[in-house]
Structure formats: C-alpha cells, structure tokens
Amino acid sequence: MAASTELRLDTLPSDPLLLVLSFLDFRDLVHCSYVNRRLNELSGHNPLWKNLCSKHWLLTDADRQQRGGSWRALFRQYYSDLGRYLQHYALLKRAWEQLKAFLTLRCPRMIASLKEGAKEAELDAIEAQIGCKLPDDYRCSYRIHNGQKLVVPGLMGSMSLSNHYRSEDLLDVETAAGGFQQRKGMRNCLPLTFCFHTGLSQYLALEPTEGRNLSDIFYHCPVSTCSSFSEWFTTYVNNVVTGEYPIIRDQIFRYVHDKQCVATTGDITVSVSTSFLPELSSVHPPHFFFTYRIRIEMASDALPEAACQLDSRYWKITNANGNVEEVRGPGVVGEFPVMTPGKVHEYASCTTFSTTSEFMEGHYTFHRLANKEEVFNVAIPRFHMVCPPFRESVVRSVRPANDTSRFDNDDSGGINMAAEEGARCPRHI
C-alpha cells in the first residue's frame, strides 16, 4: 500500500505561502499569525503590510521613512487612530489629495484657507453639544481637513452674474455646530456650507425626519439631494479636477456642461453650460432662475479672411407646457465680439421661467470683416434647463423681515429663496 501524503501549509516554501497571504486582508492576516510560529513569521512580512498601508491609508515609502518602524507597526498606528473610518478613509483622503493638487496649480489661494484635521475628541464633543451622531464619512473627512476658514472665494464654488455673487465656504465643524437646526422643518440638520452674500447653506440631515432620509444633503430650497457626505464631496471633487466645473479668475464656478451642447458652423463652434441658482428661485410663486455660459470659438486653422463680427442673436425658447417664445436682439450682453482664427469669446447670461423645465436654441448672425455684405448664421445648440427635484418641509411660515441671523432661518422649506430682487436680470440676453 502506498504511503499516504499529507499537505501541510507550514511545510510549503515561503514564496507560495507569501503569495497566498498577499490575497488576505489585515484581519485574516492577523488570524494567520496565531496558527503557528511559521505563519506568525510570514504574516509579519513587510511587503504584505506595505500593500495594506497603501490600500487603506494611502501611505508611501516617504511616509514610512518619516515615521520610522515597520509597515506592520505603521498600519497598527493608523488603525488605532482611524480604524472606525476604514471603509471611508481611502476614498475621502484620495479626493482631498486630488483636490489639493488641482488647487495648487489652478486656485492656490484656496489652499491657505484649508484647516488642519479635527481631533477625534473634538468631534465627540461636537456630537455631545448637538445631541446627534455625525455620520462616519463626515467625521472621516473632517479628520483629514476641518473645513476651511471663512474666506472668499469659497472652496465649494462660486457664481457671478450681473450684480449677484455667491461663494460657498466649507464650514469647519465648530461653526457648523453653531448653525445646527432644531426648528420645525429643519430638525437635526447640520449646515455644511455657507455663503456670506446670500445666506445660502447646504445641510446634512443627521436623522431621518420630516421627509428627509439620514445623510441627505440639500439646500434649503428646491434642489437635488445627495444620499451621503462621501457621494456629495467626491462628486464635487471629480467635477472640479476633471474640468467639468470651469476655473474663472482663480475661482471654481459650478456650471454644468452637457457634452451634447456643442454646435459647429463652418469655422465657429458654440458650446453651452448651465447652472441653477436656488437662492434666486421660488416654488410659490413658481420662479426658476438659471444662468448659462456660452463659449464661442473660431478654429485656429481658419483662414485670416474668415474673420467676422457678431451682429445679433436669435433665441427660440420652449417651456414645459410647449409654449414658444422668440427673442431677437443686437449683440450679446451689450457686446459685438470680433472673431479671428483661434479667438475665444465667453459670456454669461441668465433666464427665468415659471415652469419646471425649458430649453433654448437659436443662432448668432455674423458678417465678414473683409466683406460686410457677407452675412451668415452660426447655430447655438439646444440646451435644457431643468429645475432639480425638491422636497418641501412639512411646515411653512414667513421669515420675519428683521431676521438677520447668520444662518438662513427661513421655515418655508424652500418655498421662497429669491432674496436679492436686484439680481433679476433681463431674460435671454
């Protein structure tokens, strides 16, 4: 009878065993260290813990050299401090690093406004102060950076149009706690952002109450929501670093560009991006305010004799009810730009409407500089403006005229945020 053979892991060569161990997460690796002396030695192999440090804490060789010790010890050090945030830390840390790298190149003054991370004890104290638990992903992000100093421009985007300006700061947790809401219609809501100019804030729901879900993020007016802090923050960062939100004069502008909103006529390309302004919109009466930014560009390889000047504009506007309005006028926002090869002209305008959606399209009329009799039209692509979903509070009341509190104390749940009548601009200019 042939002798029986028994395969034992501890008798295998080190290389295949290390390969097997490399597929384990840190908990399983720790469990293996208790099996026998050989696995205990192999489970402490430095490259294994280097990979785990990189995966969970985004640590590099430079971090290890700065702190000293083994990779296993470094992992243990981070885990003892940030272990409760294991499922959020890498995602949020990577987003912060991407944002800071981008801002260093494009908006360097914002870097100086970022605050150092909050301590665990400080976040615990805030929870005790407001009587609500902070979501772990919120806490995790604030361990990395405790918001920003209250400055302009704000980290969370700006908007400038005519005499209306908005710039939102990411609040530090102490200031946010000072604006914590317990009033009807906004119970257990923590402000995330704040704008000095409009009083506008985005809020984080800390309890599932009054029609909101836990961790919903929303403006106190008609606007779409996010379901978690991680989704809200990482989506914003992605839009910034990918160029979805343009950088204008060292500020982040939250215009959204639909890649289909581009039209080329001959040598001239027109593209459009839009942005909804909740602070100038209302539901009762229905009044929805959008701004749009148009980019007109002549191809760099166009012939010099193709140079032309914009004379007039034509708009066809269709609302949600199918009603059509046509608008004609000279120039764009009072200007008559001259287009030459490689030239780019950008401008912003606005529109208001009483239905929840609307789309616009049209054309510009140009003449050639070399021959004023040569007149031609350049298509403006159709672009849609849709009021984001909103959730009304269960309570409605009118904000007192003399209410000058720092944070928006309107109990109307987003019924009327048209705070700056002077910011109304002519339609379709």
> What was the pLDDT predicted at 286?
86
β strands within 162-287, DSSP E: 164-170, 189-191, 193-195, 202-205, 217-219, 247-248, 251-252, 256-265, 268-276
HSE-up of 211 (CA within 13 Å, CB side)? 12
Contacts 24+ apart (CB under 8 A), 225-228: 225/389, 225/391, 228/135, 228/137
Q: What is the pLDDT of residues 294-317, one digit of tens each?
A: 999 999 999 999 999 999 999 999
Q: At what angle do helices 86-106 and 136-144 cross, to 10 degrees?
A: 40
Exposure string (b/e) for 343-372, b if CB count within 10 Å is 16 or more?
A: beeebbbbbbbeebebebbbbbebeebeee
> What was the pLDDT predicted at 400?
35
Q: What is the pLDDT of residues 317-372, one digit of tens each?
A: 999 999 999 999 999 999 999 999 999 999 999 998 888 889 999 999 999 999 99
Query: Quick count: other Cβ atoms within 10 Å of Cβ 385?
Result: 21
Q: Which residue has the higher pLDDT, 27 or 391?
A: 27
Residue 16: is its pLDDT beyond 70?
A: yes
Exposure string (b/e) for 319-328, b if CB count within 10 Å is 16 or more?
A: beeeeeeebe
> What was the pLDDT predicted at 226?
80
> What was the pLDDT predicted at 373?
95
What average pLDDT is seen over the chain? Answer: 86
Q: Where are the alpha helices (DSSP H) in 270-344?
A: none
Q: What is the pLDDT of residues 60-84, one digit of tens each?
A: 999 999 888 899 999 999 999 999 9
Q: Which residue has the higher pLDDT, 138 or 6?
A: 138
Angle at 166 between CA 162 and CA 169, to 5 degrees: 160
Q: What is the pLDDT of residues 139-181, one digit of tens each?
A: 999 999 999 999 999 999 999 887 889 999 999 999 999 999 9
Q: What is the pLDDT of residues 42-51, one digit of tens each?
A: 888 989 999 9
User: Average pLDDT in the 118-123 region?
Assistant: 98
Q: What is the pLDDT of residues 377-419, one digit of tens each?
A: 999 999 999 887 655 444 333 333 333 333 333 333 322 223 3
> What was the pLDDT predicted at 235?
94
Q: At what angle do helices 14-21 and 46-57 cross, to 10 degrees?
A: 10
Q: How confident is the model at residue 285 (pLDDT cuts 50, 70, 90)?
A: confident
Q: Return the amino acid letter for 104.
A: T
- When mean pLDDT is compared across 66-75, 270-279, 281-290, 393-402, the lowest value belongs to 393-402
**Report field, pTM of the whole predicted structure over 0.85:** no
Angle at 378 between CA 376 and CA 382, to 5 degrees: 150
Q: Look at residues 168, 171, 164 and name the one whose alpha carbon lies nearest to residue 200.
A: 168
Residue 203: is its pLDDT beyond 80?
A: yes
Q: How confident is the model at residue 5 (pLDDT cuts 50, 70, 90)?
A: low
Q: Choose the most confident range, by mean pLDDT, from 34-43, 134-143, 215-224, 287-296.
A: 134-143
Q: Look at residues 363, 368, 312 and name the one whose alpha carbon lies nearest to residue 340.
A: 368
Q: Return the amino acid letter for 102.
A: F
What are the structural domains of the chain? 9-84 (1.20.1280.50), 88-241 (3.40.1580.10), 256-390 (2.60.40.1470)
Per the CB < 8 A criterion, the answer to whether 362 and 315 are in contact is: yes
Q: How confident is the model at residue 239 (pLDDT cuts 50, 70, 90)?
A: very high
Q: Which residue has the higher pLDDT, 234 or 394?
A: 234
> What was the pLDDT predicted at 348?
92
- Is residue 408 classed exposed, middle or buried when 0-12, 13-18 and 19+ CB atoms within 10 A define those classes? buried
Q: How confident is the model at residue 268 (pLDDT cuts 50, 70, 90)?
A: very high
* Spatial separation of the C-alpha atoms in residues 271 and 158, rounded to whole Å: 21
